[in-house]
Structure 1
Amino acid sequence: MSQTNKEIKGKKLKKFSFPHTYVIIICIILLATFLTYVIPAGQYERVKDEAVGKTIVIADQFQYIDNTPVSFLDVPSKIVDSFNSSSSIIFIILIVGGAFQVIISTGVFQVFTTKLTKKFAGNENIIIPAFTTIFALACTTMGVNTFIGFAPIAIILARSMGFDAIVGVSMVMLGGAIGFSTGTLNPYSTGVAQTIAELPLFSGIGFRFASLVIYLIITNIYIIRYARKVRNNPESSIVYNLEQKEKSEDANMEEFPDVESRHYVVLAVVVACFGLIMYGGAKWGWKTNDNSAMFIWMAVLGGFAGGMGPSRIATEFVKGAKKLVFGAMIIGIARSASIILTDGNILDTVVKSLAGALMNMPAALRAVGMFLSQIIVNCFIVSGSGQAAVTMPIMIPVADLVGVTRQTAVLAFNFGDGFSNYVLPTSSALMGMLAISNIPYDRWMKYMGKLFGLWVATGVVILLAAYVVGYGPF
């Protein structure tokens, strides 16, 4: 009887297993479609502001319009539209996967990470904060998407030190997340928001930099604690079965060859390509397609430098790209939710309702309310500059009315727009990193859920402090 009860209990537990990632995203898409039927359609008057260089919303000119619900029969078409609009990020994921498979096959990362691991063995207190700080500083001026290609390197390094893929991804993505989300010098989020708010560009930088430091400390403690737990007990890894699969597929990873001259040449190719990607983004205005082209160059030049022939390079490239098809398709599907909400003309209605709700909150909590509102809006508008263009013309007049400084309103926007990108399945930065790292979304959320809670709590405290000190002076 006891055994039977256990079997019944086991069957019940299986019924409540976490849904497939595609199922989760399809449910979000269907919910978005349903909302176009129940939320009244509306729109703000918009004008082209030449000073900002973008179309902005006139806050006091909102009107309801005839409902334009999206048919459930049109959902497949919207998904196709989503693939088209997401093509550049899909391509870079597949190309980066292929390029790194070529580079990894040369053995360059294996031999150099072995040397690095021996030097920093047991010193995760140095290596993890070093990585997160580098990417945090880099992402103060550019998006995390720029550094998707760094994830495989960090994963190799993390595994060589006894950690798992999640630690490797965290060192790149979570460091970059902090740099981007605190908005220290970000021209795409802070720059646009402050221009709309009529604030001096990048004013209030001291408070935002202090926020960056606070978030870095909290995040590094979280990553280091998890990394130590995995090293001491590999079975505690959230992706333990995937790590075992990686080891079985790469049985020779433990037997690293000595460093040869060709390894230095391959490494020089990789460093040069990444250097050009970073410089091109900062100085030449390179976009995703330009970066994709550079990764193709990396694969070809790195393969030849590593002693491969054309056929071997092609074989390894296809092998690497095939591993990332699952994640690339997630990105293609996910953006359709935003397309549906836009086509249904309900985005402006949602923003208007959120802004109105702030008026009913206690004065001290209105900045916090803005933060939480921006998180909700970010579920629908994943572009930082796009969200700023839609919400800041609404939030700035509200801030003036409820006694919140404009600088605080911009900070609330930064936090709300930025940090939620690393838990939302509609975020290309998150899904791109997970795709290239072969980490399922549900496993990531098991790891990230607590940290995101800490991020939100930290943001609440910082915004309360901003309200108390009158963060400004504007």
Structure 2
Amino acid sequence: MAQSSEGTEKRGPRFPTAYSILFGLIILVAILTWIIPAGQYERAYNEELGRDAPLAGTYSEAEANPQGLIDVLMAPIAGLYDPVSYEANAIDVALFVLIIGGFIGVVTATGAITTGIERAMLSLRGREKWMIPVLMGLFAFGGTTYGMAEETLAFYPLLIPIMLAARYDVVTAVAVILLGAGVGVLGSTVNAFATVIAADAAGIPFTQGIVLRFVILGLCWLGCVLYVMRYAEQVRADPSRSLVYDRKQEHERHFLVPRDQEENPEFTGLHKIVLAIFGLTFAVMVWGVLFAGWWMGEMTALFLGAAILVGLIARPGEEQFVESFLSGVRDLVGVALIIGLARGIVVVMDDGRITDTILHSAELAVSGLSEVMFINVIYWLEVGLSFFVPSSSGLAVLSMPILAPVADFAGVGRHLVVTAYQSANGLVNLINPTFAVVMGGLAIARLPYERWLRFMWPLLLILTVIIMACLSLAALF
């Protein structure tokens, strides 16, 4: 049972961070280069991928090249500048992540995102039932565009008192925020930290499969909204049906503090313009990739230009603009480092000549599997991996280089593997105890972890059915 007490949480066992897990995997893979036989496939140019790809049935043994200590230490460094089997150097992807972090930092500093959501909450007072789909839609937009996660923690103190005043409970408030943003990440469409990085690691444009991802996003969002609204109305009609009814008085004492209406900032014309630029920037990115041949360099320049445009319009002053931009960059330095660290695993595998041996084993494992069976096996593999690597970017660059080429042998599009990965990772991170956003949100709401699991398990089954059905139908057609 998770404790809401910070002190208790600190005394408990801690799960290793993504950095430790990935560096540990580099060491493990280096050890495996001394054990697993070296091998290689013959390769030929693949027009769909635009580069050489392994040919099924051509595997043969090769001279071994086991990796040592120096190779392990060099792997994360080489991972940043060695394209390996990717479309671009990792340094290009890392720079893109840092610049988009700066862009988000500048937009956030204007108050447009926070004020826009607050305005939506206030305008729906008295019609709280409809607050649920509207706010979950706004949070889902943040999730599907830029992977909104840690940013949601600021909204719990704002939304919980409103939900309690509307005779709902803290479970409803947590669900609106955590499920709203989480289902957006689950159905990522242009999320740079999931879809774009995974597609790059798979060697395909991120726009491949975007229609399927929109379908998954829409269906899962609708399923979550209906589920949360049903629960909320049951609690409103009969408070004893709340999963935290025994804590009702405690929650009301803690959260229902009178709020000064004048404290709510005005939703200005500037905020509307900034939000319009925010949404338009992602739309232009999709257009550029689809129709103008853009890739990492052009997309990075787009977000840099958009950040400057927001700065010119908001006019925070040169010093404040730079500080906001650098603050956003600092927030994502860890993500940029994870990209190089995770790609270092592939560097060791390639240099140790065991990548093709592992692919050969995977080819044998999926041989005879139908397209539907294959993509569902991939989905459940990603579910298992997500518990150990909750970072969407870390899991993308860890798993895509292996699983995406296997799809070629199974006759399944690589974009389906990318979609299976992000759906699995997004689903697990709705309840993942190793994911700080989940545990942080529950701690703020004073909601015990096992109560959240009781609320979530039927919804997890519903979302799993939706995702597997979408992946299966896409594999067939």
Q: TM-score range by the shorter chain?
A: 0.5 to 0.7
Q: Distance in 1 between matches of 2:201 and 2:73?
A: 32
CA distance in 1 between counterparts of 2:385 and 2:262 reads: 47
Unaligned residue ranges in structure 1 (runs of 5+): 1-9, 137-143, 194-200, 237-243, 245-251, 397-405, 431-437
Partner of residue 390 from structure 1, selected from 405, 421, 443: 405
Equivalent-residue separation in structure 1 for 2:463 and 2:419 (angstroms) = 8
**1:92 matched residue in structure 2:** 96
Q: TM-score, normalised by structure 1?
A: 0.62
Structure 1 pair 350–215 and aligned structure 2 pair: CA distance change class (3 A): farther
1:148 paired residue among 146, 158, 180: 146
Q: Is the 8 A contact 1:132 1:220 kept in 2?
A: no
Give how far 1:313 is off. 1.3
**1:29 counterpart = 2:26:** yes
Question: Would you say the 8 A contact 1:109–1:153 is kept in 2?
Answer: no
CA-CA distance at 1:336 after TM superposition: 1.2
CA contact 2:76–2:340 (8 Å) conserved in 1: yes
Could you tell me which amino acid in structure 1 is paired with residue 25 of structure 2? I
State the percentage of identical aligned residues: 21
Q: Secondary structure at the match of 1:56?
A: strand
Greater mean alpha carbon deviation, residues 386-395 or residues 331-340: 386-395
Measure, in 1, the Cα distance between the counterparts of 2:231 and 2:23: 31
CA distance in 2, matches of 1:328, 1:297: 20
Separation of aligned partners in 2, 1:463 and 1:305: 42
Residue identity in the other structure for 1:395? A
Contact 2:33 / 2:66 at 8 angstroms: preserved in 1? yes
- Equivalent positions of 1:60-459 (< 5 A) are 60-84=57-81, 85-120=89-124, 122=128, 123=130, 125-127=132-134, 130=137, 147-148=145-146, 160-162=158-160, 166-167=178-179, 169-176=181-188, 215-216=220-221, 255-358=263-366, 368-369=376-377, 382=397, 390-396=405-411, 413=417, 416-420=420-424, 422=426, 454=461, 458=465
CA distance in 2, matches of 1:51, 1:464: 21
Deviation at 1:63, TM superposition (A): 0.3
Q: What is the DSSP-based 3-state SS (H/G/I as helix, E as strand, rest coil) of the residue aligned with 1:101?
A: helix
Question: Residue by residue, what CA displacement relative to the aligned partner does 1:193-250 show, whole Å, maximum 9, x if unpaired?
Answer: 9xxxxxxx99xx99x9987766555566788899999x998xx9xxxxxxx9xxxxxx
2:80–2:90 CA contact under 8 A, matched in 1: yes
Instruction: Say whether the 8 Å CA contact 1:111–1:258 is kept in structure 2.
Output: yes
Q: Rate the CA distance shift 1:152–1:285 in 2: closer, same or farther, 3 A.
A: farther
> How far apart in 2 are the matches of 1:209 and 1:273?
18
Q: Equivalents in 1 of 2:58, 2:459: separation in Å?
A: 36
Question: Which ranges in structure 2 are unaligned for 5 or more consecutive residues?
Answer: 1-6, 82-88, 161-172, 236-241, 248-254, 387-393, 442-448
Cα displacement string for residues 76-103 of structure 1 (whole angstroms, at most 9, x for unaligned residues): 2111112333223322333233333333
Corresponding pairs, count: 400
The 1:412–1:80 alpha-carbon spacing in structure 2 relative to 1, beyond 3 Å, is closer
Contact 2:67 2:351 in 1 (8 A): yes
CA drift of 1:65 comes to 0.9
Alpha-carbon contact 2:382-2:421 (below 8 Å) kept: yes
Partners of 1:367 and 1:463 within 8 A in 2: no
The answer to whether the Cα contact below 8 Å between 1:102 and 1:302 also exists between their aligned partners in 2 is: yes
